[in-house]
């Protein structure tokens, strides 16, 4: 999931996989810098996983410390990459794109993504660990996992 800008750069944020590990990157367009958090270990392939990345919106030079990555309802070890020039994201008007790896198009996710209530979603709040765990449990139960 990503919000690309008209110039093909990330407009606000990008949630993607990097070598099999979940990564949330946030962009400060005014300062033209990014901060991010990357899961330390890649997830196993061909197995259903429930991924969540939350960001508390804290901003500033240590903003990536406000990101938490969850896999299957539990906090996943991850590493923050901060930038001293990062202030905050600006609220942009671009739409969210799902399953596209390039702002130029033509590079799409080839796996499967669960839809419905446990499919990709975006909230205006940082979910708590208890909320993430409960969402995972409900989804796993509904899928019979």
pTM attached to this predicted model: 0.86
* Distance separating the N- and C-terminal Cα atoms of the chain: 25
User: pLDDT tens digits, the chain, 145 residues: what are they?
Assistant: 888 766 666 778 889 888 889 999 999 988 999 999 999 999 887 888 899 999 999 999 999 999 999 999 999 999 999 999 999 988 888 778 777 665 555 566 667 777 777 778 888 889 999 999 999 999 888 888 8
What DSSP letter does each residue of 3-14 carry, written as one string? EE-TTSSEEEEE
Q: How many other C-beta atoms lie within 10 A of the C-beta of residue 128?
A: 11
Return the exposure string of 88-124: e unless at least 16 CB atoms fall within 10 Å of the residue's CB, then b: ebeebeeeeeeeeeebeeeeeeeeeeeeeebeeeeee
Helices (H), the chain: 129-143
Largest Cα separation within the chain, whole Å, is 46
Separation CA 133–CA 78 (nearest Å): 18
Q: Where are the domains of the chain?
A: 2-143
Separation CA 52–CA 98 (nearest Å): 15
Task: Tell me if 11 sits within 8 A of 92, measured CB to CB.
Answer: yes
């Amino acid at each position: 999931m990503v919000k690309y800008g008209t110039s093909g750069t990330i407009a606000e944020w990008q949630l993607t996989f990097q070598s099999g590990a979940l990564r949330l990157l946030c962009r400060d367009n005014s300062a033209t810098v990014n901060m991010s958090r990357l899961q330390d270990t890649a997830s196993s392939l061909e197995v259903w996983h429930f991924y969540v990345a939350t960001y508390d919106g804290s901003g500033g030079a240590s903003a990536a410390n406000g990101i938490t990555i969850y896999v299957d309802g539990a906090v996943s070890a991850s590493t923050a990459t901060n930038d001293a020039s990062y202030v905050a994201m600006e609220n942009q008007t671009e739409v969210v794109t799902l399953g596209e790896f390039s702002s130029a198009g033509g590079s799409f996710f080839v796996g499967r993504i669960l839809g419905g209530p446990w499919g990709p979603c975006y909230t205006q709040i940082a979910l708590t660990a208890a909320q993430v765990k409960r969402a995972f449990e409900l989804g796993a139960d509904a899928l019979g996992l």
